Amino acid sequence: MKVGILGTGGMGNVHARHYANISGVELVAWDRDSDKLGAFSKHHGAAKATSYEDLLNQVDLVDICLPTPLHLDFVLQAIESGTATLVEKPMARRLHECRRMIDAANAKGVQLGVGHVVRFFPEHRKIHELVLAGEVGTPASCRMRRGGRCPLGSEGWFRDLEQSGGVILDLAIHDYDWLRWTFGEVTQVFARSVRLGKTVPEAQFEGDYAVATLRFESGLVANVETTWMDPSGFRSTLEVTGSNGMIEFDSRQNPAWRVHTDSGSMAGGQMDGVDDPYYRHLSAVVDAVRLGTEMPISGEEGMKAVAIAEAAIQSAVEGRPVDPRVLMAGATRV
């Protein structure tokens, strides 16, 4: 099976490294920067395509690892060619762009998936399973934090909020997706954001720090805090509280997760060091393409995560709660 990598930056290299460990996968790559493409090809043993069209003509699956504002055009071109498509998170900068991708994929009968890899992190997957198994009873609240330094990215596009969406779209969307996957649909988002010089000031909203409160159909309330203002480096935390106990996770602790109930506390065992989330996710994508089944994270799920992020951005700008379901319903192919 041939997999095409579009974009040879940070995420393209991460994905290529893990595709190399999947049996039967051959890599083909293309990048508009010929020097980067040459270095990538040499490092990963990938064949070099002469153009994006040439790449699509050669592969069974294209993995789009480009800056968010470039996703739409390249995804639509891949779908038009009939090539199964995986696009990195966030699926798109705007909700209506997600709808265009999904509509195009449905019309052509093409598989479309989104790279929400946090679902495959062993700790997050384990906590998801514990919650669904009723380990802490009926879930009532969740608190998540994710942050670190502002990423540089190609040509500094992360700092341009009109391109990246700031921490709300680019960073918090990891947690929005995990929360939806674990607790169901979101009915209301209320957010506040702050700018402290990391991103450009011209955008309507501040993108360096944000906190959002999400209410779910079940009644559960979640708080999601994200920042690009943490010089100490990356950290992710998670706390789920239910009627019978609490689960907590901290990426800087070892073991990283614990369960607390009235009968006592239990530290989570060591997670398998070779249980790599990128390998697990990309293996599942490859299996879906080989079998012709639905992608592990569908375009519709990717769009719902973007809807929560758009609701948070709109809430931060307007100072009022926003229902992401209303935004989903209003997203048309404009």
Q: What is the pLDDT of residues 18-73, one digit of tens each?
A: 999 999 999 999 999 999 999 999 999 999 999 999 999 999 999 999 999 999 99
Q: Where does the pLDDT of residue 206 fall: very low under 50, low under 70, confident under 90, or very high at 90 and above? A: low
State yes or no: pLDDT of 321 exceeds 70.
Answer: yes
My answer on whether 195 and 110 are in the same domain is: no
Mean pLDDT of the residues in the chain? 92
Domain, as residue range, for 265: 119-276+305-328
pLDDT of residue 334: 45
pLDDT of residue 263: 84
State yes or no: pLDDT of 204 exceeds 60.
Answer: no
Q: What is the CATH number of the domain that holds 62?
A: 3.40.50.720
My answer on whether 77 and 143 are in the same domain is: no
The answer to whether position 334 is within a domain reads: no
Ranges 97-101, 230-234, 271-275, most confident: 97-101
Cα four-point dihedral sign 267, 269, 275, 280 = negative
State yes or no: pLDDT of 80 exceeds 70.
Answer: yes
Question: Residue 334 has which token pair?
Answer: 């404009």
Which of the two residues, 165 and 191, has the higher pLDDT score? 191
pLDDT of residue 223: 99
My answer on whether 112 and 140 are in the same domain is: no
Task: Give the contacts of 291 (CB within 8 A, at least 6 positions apart).
Answer: none
Into how many domains does the chain fold? Answer: 2
For residues 126 and 271, the answer to whether their CB atoms sit within 8 Å is yes
The answer to whether position 333 is within a domain reads: no
Q: What is the CATH number of the domain that holds 250?
A: 3.30.360.10
My answer on whether 199 and 318 are in the same domain is: yes
Task: Give the contacts of 3 (CB within 8 A, at least 6 positions apart).
Answer: 19, 25, 26, 27, 28, 59, 60, 61, 62, 63, 286
Q: Which helix (H) or strand (E) holds 198?
A: none
My answer on whether 105 and 131 are in the same domain is: no
Q: Where does the pLDDT of residue 231 fall: very low under 50, low under 70, confident under 90, or very high at 90 and above? A: confident
pLDDT of residue 152: 67
Q: How many CA atoms lie within 13 A of 233 on its CB side?
A: 2
My answer on whether 248 and 133 are in the same domain is: yes
Percent of all residues in the chain with a pLDDT value above 90, rounded to a whole number: 80
My answer on whether 190 and 214 are in the same domain is: yes
Range scoring the smallest mean pLDDT among 6-15, 142-151, 153-162, 207-216:
153-162
- Spatial distance between the Cα atoms of 330 and 200, rounded to a whole number of angstroms: 29
